[in-house]
Amino acid sequence: MLTKKQKRINWVLVIFLLVLSIFFLFPVIWMLANSFKPDAAITADMNSVAAFIPPMPQGNFFENYVTIIKDTSFLRYMGNTLFYAAVMIVLGIVVNGLAGYALAKIPFPFSDKWLLIILMLQIVPTETVITIHFLIIAKAGLLNTVLGYVLPMIVNPFNIYLFRQVFVSLPDDVYEAAQLDFCGPVKYFFTMVLPMSKTVVATVGVFTFLNVWNDYLWPALVFTSGDLLTAQIGLNAITSNENTTMGQTLAVITMITIPVIIIYSLFSKQIVEGVTSTGSKEG
Amino acid sequence: MRKKNSIMGMAFFAPALILLTLFLFLPMLLTFGFSFTDYFALNPELTHFVGLKNYLDCFKDELFVKSFLNTVKFVIIIVPCQCGGAMLMAIAINHAAHCKKYFKVAFFVPVVMSLAVVSTLWMQIYSPEGILNTLLANFGIDAQPFIHSAKQALPSVAIMSVWQGMGYQMLILLGGLQNINPALYEAAEMDHATNWQKFKDITLPEMKPLCVLIFITVTIGAFRMLVQPMVMTGGGPDHSTYTIVYDIYQTGTVNWEMGLASTMAIIFTIFVVVLTIIQNILTKDKEDK
């Protein structure tokens, strides 16, 4: 179908992009390859192509990883973060989902005004209120507690609005039938509404996970020390320790990225749709 | 029935409302209120109303002015590089007939990594005897200090941020390009339009709302710069990578000067809100046409 000229342009383009992608990925390739090497090898390989090639798998291939797992609490920090993410996903879906459903389907006084307020609240950046969050949580004596970390982050105007937009198009007659069945509204919400809206639930869940996993400032403020640290804060604590070698640092940042890569590959469809639809919706 | 319904609605909305009140409305009111006081969180009894003093002080405070200018520098470097780079990449990938999927994934990889991870990684890459200096030496370029000099630290952090974020905008733009109705291009082909004409008269106008969206979100993102300097340079050397949000955080939660920090937060918020409103006006305009 393509003309000869178009074909030639296409190949130039593909080769250009291939070369560009290698340049683009060199930090990541370097990170992966050297996370399996002792520091002496990293320095020795620096000036050759070997800097981008992992060593031959031997007995101590995973030594940096093993040292991190054995000598630091990093696995514990990763576990903490998974737990916080799970709590946040459940509470976030329930609280924001209920609010979105009320705004979509159950008229109550000023519900249209509330919708407008929710829409406007999306503009406010978290940095505006984060020092006050810190003040409130500190005054409530909740610093260094899970509750103090989770509480301010549950409600999310953007997610309320997202749920509302999806719930609004659910059929009304099912709701009426459910009421005749003595199926209470709360039960109806959990057994009918949420299962009927799997896509939005998955989208909110995935983005909540990514937010919790990658968040830095808020956990750094709430968790000042101890066993409750999140992975990102723990990462900083471990890598700023003098005894941590370069290879171990690279192993830590590789490990911390693995769960995110798993989530991205499992939910790539939702994520791409979420990313591109924020574009088309607002645009 | 109706009344019962409306009670049910309020009950469903209540948990969100309570949390919104505690963690959004109340903090917003407090930030606004504190910005006119000298509230010092370690000694709240001594709080006075000081009117607009904080606002005037902010602009006389050398460190705040510096952090403001630094943030502007970040915006000036990041916005054109990231938006332009993402656009070029999206167009190139859209035209490439092979390896499309690989390119999409390859350029998206840095987005997957958290800011703290990317910062830690690039600290190693930028280190004086690091891989980047070794690569540069092969091209006969002397070792550069990168994040260790007041001159190079800000551009170094900015370029790393562009690298990290670009794939996200690329994906949005690529989605937009693929959504353009192919019939438009076919019609142009009938009229023997050149590639440039097709780009200028079809691609650009069709993509305008997305471009505005990306321009504003990247600007706001660069405006919120914090984690990268916090991890990599601690705002240094010589406060050369100190940003507005870094200053808000330091003033409020390290020095406990909530009054001043609130003022800074209000100034910061005004900028973000204005940018968002501009974006809404520009994209609304397009829809009405």
Pick from B258, B254, B261, B249: nearest CA to B225: B249
Question: Given a cut of 80, is residue A281 above it in pLDDT?
Answer: no
Asked if A154 and A99 count as a contact pair (C-beta separation under 8 A), the reply is no
Using a CB-CB distance cutoff of 8 angstroms, which residues of chain A are in contact with residue B24? 121, 124, 129, 155, 157
C-alpha dihedral, A106 to A109 to A113 to A115, nearest 10° = -20
Report, as an integer, the average pLDDT of A259-269: 88
At residue A178, the pLDDT reads 63
Bridge partners for B49 per DSSP:
B37
Residue B29, in any domain of the structure: no
Q: Which residues from chain B sit within 8 angstroms of residue A130, using beta carbons?
A: 248-249
**B44 belongs to a structural domain:** no
Cβ–Cβ of B117/A257 closer than 8 Å?
yes
Helix axes A198-214, A157-167, angle to 10 degrees: 170
Rounded Cα distance, A219 and A215, in Å? 7
Alpha helix (H) ranges present in chain B? 2-20, 26-34, 53-60, 62-95, 100-112, 115-125, 131-138, 153-179, 182-190, 195-198, 204-223, 227-232, 244-249, 258-288
B6: in domain: no
Q: What CA–CA distance (Å, rounded) separates B151 from B237?
A: 9
% chain A with pLDDT above 70: 93
For A:59-88, CB contacts with B below 8 A are none
Question: b/e map of B143-154 (b: 16 or more CB within 10 Å)?
Answer: eeebbeeeebbb
- Give SS3 for B253: helix
Tokens of B247: 């200053």
pLDDT attached to residue B282: 80
Give A127's contacts in chain B (Cβ within 8 Å).
Answer: 224, 226, 245, 248, 265, 268-269
Q: Is the ipTM of this complex over 0.90?
A: no
For residue B1, is it within any domain?
Answer: no
| pLDDT surpassing 50 at residue B13 | yes
With bands split at pLDDT 50, 70 and 90, how would you rate the model's confidence at A280?
Answer: very low
pLDDT at residue B289 in the model: 44
Residue A277: the pLDDT is 65
In contact, A97 and A194? CB cutoff 8 Å: yes
Q: How far apart are CA B250 and CA B240, in angstroms?
A: 15
The CATH number covering residue B210 comes to 1.10.3720.10
Give the pLDDT confidence of A13-71 residue by residue, as tens digits.
Answer: 889 899 999 989 999 999 998 888 888 888 888 777 777 888 878 778 888 898 888 88
Amino acid at A283: G
Helix (H) or strand (E) holding B25: none
Average pLDDT over residues B17-36: 93
- Given this model, what pLDDT does residue B50 score? 85
What integer pLDDT is reported at residue B196 of this predicted model? 84
Residues 14-53 of A with CB under 8 A from B: 14, 16-18, 21, 24-28, 30-31, 43, 46-47, 51
Number of domains composing chain B: 1
Tokens 């003022």 found at: B263
**For residue A216, which residues of chain B lie inside 8 Å, CB to CB?**
114-116, 226-227, 230-231
Q: Is A254 a residue whose pLDDT tops 50?
A: yes
- Does pLDDT of A252 surpass 80? yes
- The answer to whether A249 contacts B120, with C-beta atoms less than 8 Å apart, is yes
- Residue B7 domain-assigned (yes or no): no
- Residue B89 pLDDT: 92
Q: What is the residue whose two structure tokens read 């992608």?
A: A21
The nearest alpha carbon in chain B to A153 belongs to B23
Closest CA to B152 of B65, B72, B245, B77: B77
B219 located within any domain:
yes
Handedness of CA A117, A119, A120, A121 (dihedral sign): positive
Residue-wise pLDDT for B171-230, tens only, equals: 999 988 988 888 888 888 888 888 888 888 888 888 888 888 899 889 999 999 999 999
Give every CB contact of residue A131 below 8 A, 6+ residues apart in sequence.
B31, B248, B249, B252, B253, B258, B261, B262, B265
Of the candidates B128, B261, B187, the one whose C-alpha atom is nearest the C-alpha of residue A133 is: B261
Minimum mean pLDDT range among A43-57, A112-126, B83-97: A43-57
All domains in chain A, ordered by first residue: 4-68 (no CATH), 72-241 (1.10.3720.10)
Mean local confidence (pLDDT), A253-269:
90
Q: Is B151 helix (H, G, I), strand (E, B) or coil?
A: coil
Element counts in chain A: helices (H) and strands (E) = 16, 0
Contact indicator for A106, B5 with CB cutoff of 8 Å: yes
- Percent of chain A at pLDDT > 90 equals 42
List the single residue in A with minimal CA-CA distance to B126. A27
Q: Does the residue B159 lie in any domain? A: yes
Q: How far apart are CA A102 and CA A110, in angstroms?
A: 12
SS3 of residue A253 by DSSP: helix
Q: Please give the residue range of the domain that contains residue B139.
A: 53-288
Assess whether pLDDT exceeds 50 at residue A283.
no
Query: pLDDT tens across B31-58, in order?
Result: 999 999 888 878 777 788 888 888 988 8
Which tokens go with A222? 């709430």
Q: Is residue B10 part of a domain?
A: no
Averaged confidence pLDDT in chain B = 88
Is there a contact between A102 and A108 (Cβ–Cβ < 8 Å)?
yes
Q: Give the whole-number percent of chain B exceeding pLDDT 90.
A: 44
Asked whether B14 and A98 are in contact (CB, 8 A), the reply is no
Which residues numbered 248-277 in A keep a CB inside 8 Å of some CB on B?
249-250, 252-253, 256-257, 260-261, 264, 272, 275-276
Q: Could you tell me which of B79, B91, B252 has the C-alpha nearest to residue B162?
A: B79
Nearest to A25 among B109, B230, B262 (CB): B109
pLDDT at B85 over 70: yes
B273, amino acid identity: V
Chain A residues closer than 8 Å to B172 by CB:
275-276, 278-279
What does the pLDDT average to over B122-129? 90
Question: A205 CB contacts (<8 Å, ≥6 apart)?
Answer: A89, A93
